[in-house]
Amino acid sequence: MDRRLLPRLLLAAFVGFIAPLAIAVLLVLGYGLQVSATMPKTVSAIPAETAGPDAWQLSSDQERALSENGHPESFAILFYDEEGEDGSLENVRYETWSYYTRGLEMTFINGELETQTALDRFSAKPGSLSCRPEQFAPYMDLAEVVRAAGLSSFTMTPLEDQLLPGGETYFADRLTFGLIDGELRYIETLPTVEEG
Amino acid sequence: MSPHVMQAKARFLFIVAALGLTLGCNLLAPSGSRRSEDAALLLMLASHSLIEASVAEAPSASRGPGLSGARAAGGIAAGPRRNEARMMAEWYHALAERLPEDDEVRQGYLDKADDYYDQAKALDEERERAERRRHRGFFRWFGRQVKNFGEGLGRVVGGVMGFAGAVVEYVVEEELPARIRAAIKGEWERIKAIAQGKIEMFWQRLATRYGDVFTAYLRDRVDPLFIRLRDRVTGRTRRVSRRLTLTAQALNPAEATATSTQKPVAPPTHTQPPTPGQLLSKTGTVVPVGLDPGLRATSNKISITFQDDGRGVVRGSGVYAAIYMWEECHKELPTSTRWELTGTYDPATKRFGGTMQEYGQGQIAYTNCSVGDVPEYTRGQGGTWEAALENGVIKGSMTLIQGGGTPILRVTFEAR
């Protein structure tokens, strides 16, 4: 075989076979990563880790609520920034504690009692929560939330860019929470109660 | 399948997954504006709407009586997931409608509502596109290949996500509702060995929250947040006193005297500052500006209860009842207007603010001069109220908003 022919054959093989194959693989990879990034995921069998110290120091208002009413039967916390009077951004912790058996809901802003409203009472006592509000702090990352709540599994759903770019919602045992850009921005417990 | 082929498949799928995560990470670039209240609320709405959709799709056997009852009562909407951006749009719109037309925040809320309506449309289109994509054979197949990449790779991806030892499994969209239901109550079921005959409080909460009362629920829940936001944006707390003073000056004293047979208002007296944390109740009278005062007032009273340290919800109620003369029939007809107020009190500025609802009832005369009763009905679309505490006297005003946002009645009041 003519030795000068070999490079030409290799070039022909590259152009005719390897290059199209590589392009096809890249296209498949590109589509695969696009699909996988937008797909919900379930993460299970998370090894148990000891939760660290509480991430939030309860305020005197919250301590009082705790001593008067006990731990909330459900809570929801929103974390966000708001502009202070000097133009700087302040972290805000907007917290709602619900006591269904007492028919009471309390809202705290950065630990300060803001409102106290009546709730429809439930005669049955909800099951105890596996986590407490003080275990969560603004802008925790996913691993910190999982550790604080002692989760062994969760299901995550990425939100559409048209709705909230970088937003993800999570569902776990009696718990739902949301991260934006990997930071905790919302968490709410889902109380359950047994009937009969 | 030979080990070699399995290894190649594993490598390929790992690259796919790793690249997916890389892209995902790049998309999540930090952004300051995403730390706003709205972003946090959108997350909450997204969580609720996904749970709601998963409940709506639950097979009847797994719902339990609580959920079945809630659905039967129409509390939980069946069908596709709600559009969260549209919910925000409607919410901002409703908030704007409740503000007086001259309120500086009103237009801002309307603009925001418009932005959210646009966003909602784009979201609808994206969800329709995604739905069509899911129904195409190849794409469906591809999604399942990504999903079925095996436990070994799942552990690798789990490690990449920061959970060494955990298993990541991709979920195709059709399975999501069941996954969410399982995630929320899976652990509870395992621990307490529940199967049938249990009722989940959360489903009942959903039944109460959603459906027709959904917007009202959200409004009640986060209204303080919006009031706080508005006050911060506009420095409203500093202006409230000025506005109230101007309102008081604009009132024609002669008209104020003529419009009511109310008790004369005593001059403000200095009162002892109350002990912190004290629950206070103040009563007084209203001056309905622009309202036919009638022949004579039969009742004119307003009371406001608040905690002087600003804790708790401020509640108030008022009533103005009068006898009117129906000239054509020479009949005297009783009519009354009632107000229910809720709001907040800021002890630092001694200002009040909140929302109110107005109700009317009474009698009317028909063309044949017979008289009929008008049962109590809700007037307008609610309204707002604001007041200031000065020398132990609460002076303020209420504005009722009609459809389209036009203020239709301003009532001033004093309570001491």
What's the whole-number average pLDDT of chain A? 83
Grouping H, G, I as helix, E, B as strand and the rest as coil, residue A66 is helix
Are B152 and B67 contained in the same domain? yes
Q: Give the pLDDT confidence score for residue A137 in this predicted structure.
A: 92
- Residue B15 located in a structural domain: no
Say yes or no to pLDDT of B35 above 70. yes
Are B346 and B245 contained in the same domain? yes
Q: Give the pLDDT confidence score for residue A146 in this predicted structure.
A: 92
Q: Do B23 and A34 touch (CB under 8 A)?
A: yes
Task: Identify the closest residue of chain B to A32 by CA–CA distance.
Answer: B16
Its pTM stands at 0.57
Chain A residues with beta carbon closer than 8 angstroms to that of B32: 81, 89
- What ipTM was reported for this prediction? 0.86
Single-letter code of the amino acid located at A194: E
Identify which has the larger pLDDT, B259 or B140.
Answer: B140
Q: Give the pLDDT confidence score for residue A168 in this predicted structure.
A: 95
CB of B42 less than 8 A from some CB of A: yes
What's the whole-number average pLDDT of chain B? 63
Task: Identify the closest residue of chain B to A138 by CA–CA distance.
Answer: B35
User: Which one of B43, B84, B311 has the shortest CB-CB distance to A113?
Assistant: B311
Task: Identify the closest residue of chain B to A36 by CA–CA distance.
Answer: B20
User: Which one of A33, A39, A82 has the shortest CB-CB distance to B171?
Assistant: A39
A-contacting residues of B 333-372, CB under 8 Å?
Answer: 344
CB of A146 less than 8 A from some CB of B: yes
Tell me how close the Cα of A44 comes to any Cα of chain B, in angstroms.
5
Q: What proportion of chain B, given as a percentage, has pLDDT over 70?
A: 47
Residue B39 is part of which domain span?
31-224
Q: Do B36 and A41 touch (CB under 8 A)?
A: no
Say yes or no to pLDDT of B173 above 50. yes
Are B260 and B210 contained in the same domain? no
Q: Among the three residues B224, B251, B278, which one is the final residue of a domain in this structure?
A: B224
Query: For the segment B92-109, what is each residue's pLDDT rounded down to a tens digit?
Result: 787 677 667 776 667 877
Which among A49, A106, A120, A164 is the top mutation candidate for probing chain B, defined by the most B β-carbons within 10 Å of its own β-carbon? Answer: A164
Say yes or no to pLDDT of B252 above 60. no
Chain A residues with beta carbon closer than 8 angstroms to that of B313: 115-117
Identify which has the larger pLDDT, B99 or B306.
Answer: B306
Tell me how close the Cα of B24 comes to any Cα of chain A, in angstroms.
5
Chain B residues with beta carbon closer than 8 angstroms to that of A34: 20, 23
CA R_g for chain B: 29
Q: Among the three residues B189, B224, B259, which one is the final residue of a domain in this structure?
A: B224
Q: Give the pLDDT confidence score for residue B334 in this predicted structure.
A: 82
Single-letter code of the amino acid located at B97: E
Query: For the segment B202-216, what is each residue's pLDDT rounded down to a tens digit?
Result: 334 334 433 333 444
The mean per-residue pLDDT over the stretch B230-259 comes to 32
CB of B238 less than 8 A from some CB of A: no
Q: Do B176 and A40 touch (CB under 8 A)?
A: yes
Single-letter code of the amino acid located at B174: E
The mean per-residue pLDDT over the stretch B340-363 comes to 86
Q: What proportion of chain B, given as a percentage, has pLDDT over 90?
A: 5
In order, the DSSP letters of B239-290 are HHHHHHHHHHHHS-HHHHHHT--PPPPPPP---PPPPTT-EEEEEEEEEEET
CB of B128 less than 8 A from some CB of A: no
Are B117 and B140 contained in the same domain? yes
Q: Do A165 and B27 touch (CB under 8 A)?
A: yes
Cα distance from N-terminal residue to C-terminal residue, chain A: 89
Are B250 and B359 contained in the same domain? yes
The contacts found for B358-364 with CB under 8 angstroms, 24 or more apart, are B358/B382, B358/B383, B358/B398, B358/B400, B358/B409, B360/B335, B360/B336, B361/B335, B361/B336, B362/B333, B362/B334, B362/B335, B362/B336, B363/B333, B363/B334, B363/B335, B364/B333
Tell me how close the Cα of B326 comes to any Cα of chain A, in angstroms.
43
Name which of B416, B38, B102 is nearest B262 in CA terms. Answer: B416
Chain B residues with beta carbon closer than 8 angstroms to that of A83: 232
Total domains, chain B: 2
- Residue B22 located in a structural domain: no
Query: For the segment A34-75, what is each residue's pLDDT rounded down to a tens digit?
Result: 777 778 888 888 888 777 778 889 999 999 999 988 888 888
Identify which has the larger pLDDT, B407 or A109.
Answer: A109
CB of A160 less than 8 A from some CB of B: yes
User: Which one of B20, B29, B42 has the shortest CB-CB distance to A36?
Assistant: B20
What is the 3-state secondary structure of B5-61? Answer: HHHHHHHHHHHHHHHHHHHHHHHCCCCHHHHCHHHHHHHHHHHHHHHHHHHHCCCHH
CB of B144 less than 8 A from some CB of A: no
Are B59 and B183 contained in the same domain? yes
Are B85 and B171 contained in the same domain? yes
Q: Give the pLDDT confidence score for residue B89 in this predicted structure.
A: 86
Cα distance from N-terminal residue to C-terminal residue, chain B: 87
Domain residue extents for chain A: 5-39, 43-189
Q: Read off the pLDDT band of A178 (50, 70, 90).
A: very high
User: Which one of A82, A92, A163 has the shortest CB-CB distance to B84?
Assistant: A163
Q: Among the three residues B201, B224, B247, which one is the final residue of a domain in this structure?
A: B224
- Residue B91 located in a structural domain: yes
Are B248 and B383 contained in the same domain? yes
Are B86 and B153 contained in the same domain? yes
Identify which has the larger pLDDT, B191 or A157.
Answer: A157
- Residue B3 located in a structural domain: no
Give the lowest-confidence range in A31-40, B51-60, B254-263, B403-412: B254-263
Grouping H, G, I as helix, E, B as strand and the rest as coil, residue B98 is coil
